[in-house]
Structures are given as C-alpha cells and as structure tokens.
Structure 1
C-alpha cells in the first residue's frame, strides 16, 4: 500500500511541479513559435503516458498485492492487449513525429529574400561574416585558414572582397528581415544556439549547415555553444544584437574598415 501511494504522489507531484515550475523557456524573439508548439505537443503526449503508466503501476501493486492463499495466474501472452499497446503506441509516436516533420520542412525551406550570413565556430569563440555592398558572400575553404585569413576566404573570389569580417565580436541583425545563417566550424564540433530564437544547428568540420529565421523584436541575446567542444566549452559565448533597419544600416556603414580586402591588405 505504501509503494502504491508513493507512485501516486510521484505522478501528481510531477504534474504540480510542471504547473508551478519557474524553469520555463525564455520569451521567443523569432518566427519559430512552431518549435514551441511542437515541444508542447510532445510534452503533453509523453506526460500523459508517464502519468498513466505510473498510476497503472500503483493500481497493479495495490490490486494484486500479496495475500495469504492467493495464487498468481500465469498468462504469458495476451494478443488483445498486445494489439492495443501496439496501436496506442503507434498513434502516440505518429502524433509526436508529424508536427516535427512539418516544422522541419519549414526550418530548411529558406525564403528567397533571405540574406546570407556566415557564423564560424572555433575553440572557443564565434566569428561572423556579413555580405558587403554586392549582397553576396565570397567562397571560403578551411584549408585557406591562416593568421591573416582566419576564416579561410578565397582571395581570388571577387564576391568576398567586400565581405565584412567580425572576429570574436558581436553579431548584429535587422529586425523583421529573414536571415539564412550558414554555419561552419574550422576545428571541432560546435553548435550555434540562441535560446530566444528557438533555432540551433550542429556545426560539423568539413561541411556547411544552415538554418533561417526572422528576428521579431529588438534586443541583445546570448549565443551559446550547445555541443561539447573542449575544456573552454562553457566560455564559448557571444551576443547577437537585433536592431531596427535604420540602426543596422548605420552600423554597416561604420564597418567599411572591416572588409576582407582591407583586413588582408599588406601593411
């Protein structure tokens, strides 16, 4: 009886903890409210299953508790029960997967008017590359990385000459404008994550991953690395500032000295 009561308390306590818990996600700052909706759907499905299983265990412990003279019935198979469990489990899994597949399709379908930017991860800092006046990013290759070319841009690519290089600084984005973030690592696995954006993606050496988002409100938000990348992993942080379009354009004009052509020019 005591064990059954403990299980009931665990189930009810878990629900109560969720309702009054102060640990909840941060306010959203992008268009990816669909991510929140998918998490909520998954939470309720798994939460209901958890409560049902725990309460069922409590019922079984109480209902079939040991009593003198009672003999247990041996029933190794029950096809009806197995069909029910298989069907309910299948419906639950499908209900969790379907929203995720829908959101994933949106997550990788980039709007045509999105602006390309590049985020480069390396132990243990973030660097960024923004398109210059031509609106295009030049080509890059990790094999080109050197002391005077830390992001590995191809020197003979005309599209990269006016690219703005921000090494270990602050990323700035205009509010209300879709952005395609090209993600690249030049050493080990990293993961670019801004909690308020609800967008994150692994950065794998040797390949370029991406996601897109539209910032929906101005402010300064913290960038985290969500992939263990070495002893300095906890300190691999940065900031992204979302500004009005006028503020962003004014800031971009101030970055004329940070183009790849200027930074790589011989002294």
Structure 2
C-alpha cells in the first residue's frame, strides 16, 4: 500500500513541478513560437504517458499485492493487448514527430528577402560577417584563414571587399527583418544558440550549415555555444543586439569592411618587402 501511494505522489508531484516550475523558457524574441508549441505538445504527450504508466504501476502494486494462498497466473502472450499498445505507441510517436517535421521544413525554408549573415565559431570566440552595400557576401576558403584574414575571405572576390567583419565582438541586427544565418567552424563542433530566438544549429568544420529567424523585439540577447567544444566552452559567449533599423545602420556605418581591414596590412607587407629587397 505504501509503495502504491509513493508512486502516485511521484506522478502528481512531477506534473505539479512542471506546471509551477520557476525554471521556464526565456521570453520569445523571434518568429519561432512554433518551436515552443511543438515542445509544449511533446511535454503533454510524454507527461500523459508517464502519468499513465506510473498510475498503472501503482494500481498493479495495490491490486496484485502479496496475499497468503494467492498464486500468480502465467500469461506469456496477449495479442489483443500487444495490438493496442503498438497502435497507441505509434499514434503517440507520430503526434510528437509530425509537428517537428512541419516546423523543421519552415526552419530551413528561407524567405527570399532574408539577409545573409555569417557566423564563425572557433575555440573560444565568435566572429561575424555581414554583407556590405552590394548586399552580397563574398566567397571564403578555409585554406585562406590566417592572422591577417581570420575568416578566410577570398581577396580576389569583389563581392567580399565591402563585407563587414566583426571579430570577437557583438552582432547587431535590425528588428523585424528575416536573417539567414550561415554557420562555419574552423576547429571543432560548435553550436550557435540564442535562447530567446529558439533557433540553433551545429557548426561543422568543413561544412556550412544554416537556419533563419526574424527578430521580433529589440534588446540585447546572449549568444551561447550549445555544443561542448573544449575546456573554455562555458566562456564562449557573445551578444546579439537587436535594434531599430536606423540605429542598426548607424552602427553598421562605423564598422570596418574587409578591404579596410586588409588594406593597411597589405600596404605594410609591401613596404616590408621593398625594404627587404
């Protein structure tokens, strides 16, 4: 009897803790409320199954408790019960997977008017690249990464000369504008994650992954790495600052382009080469 009561208390306490927990999602700041809805649906389905299983266990413990003279009946198969369990399980799994597949399709179907922004992760810092006045990002090549060219831009690509490079600093974005985030890593697995945006994706060396979102409110939001990437993983942080469009463009005008960053270095290299000769 005591064990049955404990099991019932576990089920009730688990549901109440979920409903009244002080630890919940950060306030949504993007268009991905669908992800919250999908997670909530998953919680309800798994919570209902968990509660049903625990209550059934409590019932069995109470109903079939030991009594003198009672003998258990051996019933190795029950095809009717197996069919009901198989069908119920299939319906529950489909109910959890179907919304996720719908959201995933939306997650990787980028709007035509989205602006591309590149995020590069490395142990243990974030770097960003935004398109310049031509609205296009230049090409990159990991083999061109160096101290003078930390994001590996192709210096011969004219589309990259006006790209805005932000190294180990904060990313600024305009509110209400869709953004396609291109994700790269130059060493190990990283994961670009802003909790308020609900959007994240692994960054795989040698590949470019992506997703998109639309910031829906202004503010400063912390960037986390959601993939264990080394001893300083917890310190790999940055900020995304979402601003009104005029404030965003004012910030953008103050940033240096790839041409401006590489120009002084190339001049210095040429002068050094001339002196050496």
Q: TM-score range by the shorter chain?
A: over 0.9
The aligned counterpart of 2:112 is 112
1:126 maps to 126
| Aligned equivalents of 2:136, 2:84: Cα separation in 1 | 56
1:79 and 1:92 mapped to 2: Cα distance? 20
Alignment of 1:1-267 (within 5 A): 1-255=1-255, 258-265=256-263, 266=266, 267=268
Q: Distance in 1 between matches of 2:229 and 2:252?
A: 31
2:200 alignment partner, SS class: strand
Deviations 1:149-171 (A, max 9, x none): 00111111110000010000000
Q: Deviations over 1:21-67 (max 9, x none)?
A: 10000000000000000000000000000000000000001100111
The 2-side partners of 1:114 and 1:95 are apart by 31
C-alpha distance in structure 2 between counterparts of 1:259 and 1:33, whole Å:
35
- CA distance, structure 2, for counterparts of residue 20 and residue 201 of structure 1: 30
Distance 1:139 1:62 in 2: 68
**SS of the counterpart of 2:76?**
coil
Unaligned runs of 5+ in 1: none
SS of the residue corresponding to residue 28 of structure 1 reads: coil
1:110 is paired with a residue whose SS is coil
Q: How much has 1:251 moved relative to structure 2? A: 1.1
Tell me by how many angstroms 1:143 deviates: 1.2
- SS of residue in 1 equivalent to 2:68: coil
Higher Rg of the two aligned structures: 2
Shift of 1:132: 0.4
Instruction: Give structure 1 regions of 4+ aligned residues with deviation exceeding 3 angstroms.
Output: none
TM-score, scaled to structure 2: 0.95
Task: Give the Cα separation in 2 of the matches to 1:141 and 1:89.
Answer: 48
Deviation at 1:254, TM superposition (A): 1.4
- How big is the shift at 1:101? 0.4
The Cα offsets for residues 118-170 of structure 1, whole Å up to 9 and x where unpaired, read as 00000000000000010000011111110100011111111000001000000
| Counterpart secondary structure, 1:191 | strand
